[in-house]
Amino acid sequence: MRLNVAVVGGGIGGLAAVLAIRRAGHEAVCFEQSSELGELGAGIQIGPNASRLLHRLGLSEALAAVAVEPARLQFRRWHSGAVIKELVTGPEVIAAFGAPHYTLHRADLHRVLVDAVADVRPGLQCVGADQDDDGVNLRFADGTFYRADVVIGADGLGSRLRRLVSSGVARFSGKAAWRVLVPAEAVPNLADPPTLRLWLGPGKHVVSYPVSAGRLLNLAAALLADVEDTESWTREGPADELAAALHGWDPDLHTVIAAAKTTLRLPLFDRPPLEHIGTGRMTLLGDAAHPMLPFFAQGAAQAIEDAWVLGRVLRNATRATAPDALRRYEQARHARTATVQQRSVRNGELFQLPNGLRQRVRDVALRRFTLTRFDWLYGYDADTA
C-alpha cells in the first residue's frame, strides 16, 4: 500500500525528501509557505556525502550545468593571504569518496530540485497539525486542511511542527554571515582556477569560491554581531560596511568587496541536539530538526542525508508500521547530526583564534591536513550506513 506523505517546507531538504520518498514508491506532496519558490542567500557547498545522493536521485546532469568542482582548497592567513595549507581536490575528491564536492548558488540548487519535484504547492503556511491513529490533519493559514499518512516537517529554523516535540528556542551564535556575489570576470585571479579559499583571522573568517558554473564568485564573512541583528532575518547593506569590518585583511578580499554593490547579512543560529525529533506519524528533517552553524558547510548536506534515510525507512512501510519506521529514521540520524552540529561550532572557534600560541598550533595541524581527515564525513553513505 502506498503511503500519502506530506512534506511541509519547500527548501533543499524538503524537496530532496519528496524525491527520496517517491523513489521509495510512495506519494509525496510538498507545501511551501512562500508564494514564490526561491532560496535566500548566495553560495552553498555540497560535499560528496550529499552529492552522491543527489546523483542517485537522477540530478547529476542538471547539477553539472550549474555547479563548480573546486580544483583546490586553501587555508590562508588573514592579513597577508599567505597559504597555510593547500589541498588538491577535484578528481582527487572523486577518487577518494566516489562523488564530487560541489560549490553552487543556493538558488541554482533549489531550482534543480524544484524542476525535479515539478508540483510544489506554494502559498500554504502550515499553522498546526492534529494526528490520530490513522493519519495527520495539517492546518493551513488560509483555513484549508490536508490529511496525510505521514508528515515531514522541513520548515526550517522557525519550524512550527518542531513545537510539537520541543519548546526550546534557537540560540544566537553572536555572529552573522555577510555574503557577497560578484562577477567572476571582475576578480579573475580568484575565479580561475576554481578554488575554495578560507582566510582565518582573529574573531573573523572569510570563505570564497565560484558558483553558477563559474560565472560568479561567492564570498562569505563570519563576523561578530550584536543581538539586535537577530531582529531581521536578512538585511542588505553597503559593501563599504563589510570593507570597514575587514580593514587590514588580505587586499584580495577588498578587491572582491569593491566589485560588490551590496551585501546580505544573515544572523547565525543553531539549536542543541534533540534526543527525539518526532512523535507518532510526524518527524522533522534539516534545519527543523538540527539547525547548525555553517562552519562545516554541512547544513544542506545533512538535510539531504536525512531525506535519503527517510526514503530508506519508508520503503516497505505501511500505514500501520509508518510510526515505527519514523523512529528508526530518528535513531539512525541522531548521533550523526549531533556530531556535525558540534563540530560546526568548534570549527567556528578554530577558524577565528586570536594570534598567539593556539593559532600557531592550529596552523601546524593544518599543514598536516590530508583528504583522509574527511573520511568520517564524506565517506559516509546514507544508503548503507
Residue 229 has a pLDDT of 53
Residue 1 has a pLDDT of 81
What is the C-alpha radius of gyration for the chain, rounded to an integer number of angstroms?
21
Range from 119-133, 264-278, 308-322 that averages highest in pLDDT: 308-322
Whether 347 shows a pLDDT value over 80: the answer reads yes
Strands 204-211 and 72-77: unpaired
Q: Report d(CA 107, CA 256) in Å as an integer.
A: 21
pLDDT per position as a tens digit, 58-92: 999 999 999 999 999 999 999 999 999 999 999 99
Residue 263 has a pLDDT of 87
* Grid cell locating 223: 563576523
The residues annotated with a catalytic role in the active site are 209
Taking the C-alpha atoms of 279, 283, 286 and 292 in order, what is their torsion angle to the nearest 10 degrees?
0
Q: Where are the domains of the chain?
A: 1-37+120-168+274-345, 39-116+171-270+353-385
User: 134: number of CA atoms within 13 Å, CB side?
Assistant: 1
Residue 231 has a pLDDT of 47
Average pLDDT score over residue span 6-17: 97
Q: pLDDT over 90 for what percent of the chain? A: 84
Q: What is the three-state SS of 323-344?
A: HHHHHHHHHHHHHHHHHHHHHH
Whether 36 shows a pLDDT value over 80: the answer reads no
Q: Report d(CA 285, CA 263) in Å as an integer.
A: 29
Give every CB contact of residue 43 below 8 A, 6+ residues apart in sequence: 103, 104, 105, 106, 179, 181, 209, 211, 218, 220
- At the top level of CATH, the class of 39-116+171-270+353-385 is alpha beta
Whether residue 193 is preceded by a cis peptide bond, meaning omega within 30 degrees of 0, is yes
Domain 1-37+120-168+274-345: which CATH number of 1.10.357.10, 3.50.50.60, 3.40.190.10, 2.60.40.10: 3.50.50.60
Strand partners, 263: 237
Q: Report d(CA 349, CA 198) in Å as an integer.
A: 14
Whether 40 shows a pLDDT value over 70: the answer reads no
pLDDT per position as a tens digit, 88-142: 999 999 999 999 999 999 999 999 999 999 989 999 999 999 999 999 999 999 9
If you average pLDDT over every residue of the chain, what do you get? Answer: 93
Strand partners, 221: 178, 206
Q: Report d(CA 150, CA 332) in Å as an integer.
A: 18
Nearest to 366 by CA among 93, 85, 88, 80: 85
Answer yes or no: are the C-beta atoms of 274 and 290 closer than 8 Å: yes
pLDDT band for position 42 (50/70/90)? confident
Q: What is each CA distance from 35 to 122, 185, 193, 272, 371, in whole angstroms?
A: 5, 34, 39, 31, 42
